[in-house]
Amino acid sequence: MDIKSIGVIGAGQMGNGIAHVMALAGYDVVLNDIAQEGLDTAIARITKNMARQETRGLITAEQQADALGRIKTTLHQPEVAQTDLVIEAATENEQVKYKIFEGLLPHLQPHTILTSNTSSISITRLASRTDRPEKFMGFHFMNPVPLMQLVELIRGIATDQDTYATCLGIVEKLGKTAASAEDFPAFIVNRILIPMINEACYTLYEGVGNVASIDNAMKLGANHPMGPLELADFIGLDTCLAIMHVLHEGLADTKYRPCPLLTKYVEAGWLGRKSKRGFYDYRGEAPVPTR
C-alpha cells in the first residue's frame, strides 16, 4: 500500500518525535493532542530539533522548511482518521488507548492502517477492540525518535502480511532498522531493558549501592552510555513501573515483581526528568542523586 499521509495521536515526547521523522521523510502528518498547549509545545520542539539538525549539516534549511510545512496540528480526532496510517502515541495506559481507537473507528477510511507505539501492551488485545485487526500492528519507536535507529514491528495474531510489509517499508524510508517481535509482554527491548532497571532499583532499595555507585558501575563496568537509574529518569519512572506491571501480570513470574522503591517514587510524583525529580534531582545546575 502506498502511504502518503500519517496521523499521530499524542504530541508528547514520542509523538512529536514520530511527527518529526515522518515529515522529514516526505509524509504529510496530522498531529493530534487533547490540548492546544501540547500541540504548540510539540511544534516548538520539532522546530528546535530540526534547527539543530540543520546546524549540524544533517538536513538542509530547505528540507527543514518543507518538513515543517507538512505537519498539520488538530484537536479533533476525526481529522486524524482520514490519513492512510495512524500511529497512536498516547500514554502507556490500556484503557486510554481503547478509548482512542474506539473514537477513531466511525471516521476511518476503509484502507487506513492502525498502529500503536505501545512499549509493552498486547497488540492482539488492542486490535480486538477495532474493526480491522488484520490492519493493526505495533509500531514501537525508541526515544529520542530522531536519533534512535531501531523500530520494533509487532504483529498481533490477526495482522496480515500486507500490513506488516507496509510498515516495514515506512521504517526503511525513514532510514531506520526494523526488529520484528512477537506479541508477548514488552516485546524485545523492554522485556530485557526494564527488568534490568527494576533490578537496579532493588540494588538501591537493598542498600547494595547508592545511586551514583550503581550508575557508575554499569557505565564503567559494562560500558553502558547511561546508568540504569539515570536511564529510568530519562524514560520516566511511571512508564518503567507500568511496563513492569505488564510483565508481572502478563507472564505471572515473580522475577518481574516491581521494586517497592520504584513504586514509592512514582507515588511521590518523582517521575524523573519530566517532573524534575526522580533518582536524581534536576532542579539545580547539575543532577544530584536523591539517594
Residues marked active site are found at 119, 140, 152, 190
How far apart (Å, rounded) are the C-alpha atoms in residues 232 and 272?
A: 7
The cell for 223 is 560500558
How far apart (Å, rounded) are the C-alpha atoms in residues 67 and 62?
A: 9
End-to-end CA distance of the chain: 52
229 with 215: CB under 8 angstroms? yes
What are the strands, taking DSSP E only, across 64-176?
A: 71-74, 85-88, 113-116, 136-141, 150-155
Using a CB cutoff of 8 Å and minimum separation of 24, what contacts does 92-98 make?
92/118, 92/119, 92/120, 92/121, 92/239, 92/242, 92/243, 93/242, 94/121, 94/125, 94/126, 97/121, 97/126, 98/126, 98/129
Neighbours of 26 (CB within 10 A): 12
How far apart (Å, rounded) are the C-alpha atoms in residues 92 and 240?
A: 10
